[in-house]
Amino acid sequence: MSKSRFSEFLTVDNSVLVLIDHQTGLLASVRDIEPDLLRTNMKALVKMAKAADIPVIVTSSMPDGPNGPFLQELLDIVPEAEYIRRPGEINAWDNPDFKAAIEKTGRKKVIMAGIVTDVCLMFPAISAVADGYDPYAIIDASGTWNKLVQEVTIHRLAQAGVKVSTWASALAEMMHDWRSDKAYPLAGVLSEHTSYGLVYESFLATQKQEA
């Protein structure tokens, strides 16, 4: 595995977003992050992908069982996302349709979020590294049983070579330059879901005055 991947940045051309098991039953068990904040972060991550026009792949584990259906408000943001329903695999990477969907994009930077962090996110992230991909684990759009479990999981992800990140950091990394085509749509997502909104509003007001 090339060491250069640790210094290679996300772009709109090399990235794919994968949402793993953001299902209602699993979400009910999350205790390491406030529910409203998690919901905001999940929506922001999906809106980031839409603004950047990168592929989105969604997967759920036995959605007709106790894990519950995938969160509809996320699906509503990206109705064009490829949705893989897994019949039983705990590690999504073990599902051939899921893995094939990622391979089909031709992209190696796999932005991942999942519920729960220590299973649904961690297992496929580690498997992705083993198969030569460069996964980014978006911790603040994922959730698990408690903070201790989250902290232990972050250590194991880092040990395996997974890049641990947040949605806003991934967005800024992908945006790269205010002069890029996707800069303003991406900044709009950041302003909608963080306190950066005040800065962005001030900037836009200045731009209008100058015009």
Single-letter code of the amino acid located at 86: R
β-partners of residue 86 are: 61
Catalytic residue among 81, 110, 116, 120: 120
Which residue, among 75, 45, 77, 53, has the nearest Cα to 63 in the 3D structure?
Answer: 75
Residues 6+ apart with CB under 8 A from 63: 23, 69, 70, 85
Cα diameter, the chain: 58
Which residue, among 75, 70, 166, has the nearest Cα to 120 in the 3D structure?
Answer: 70
Q: Is 30 a catalytic residue?
A: no
Q: What is the set of active-site residues?
A: 120
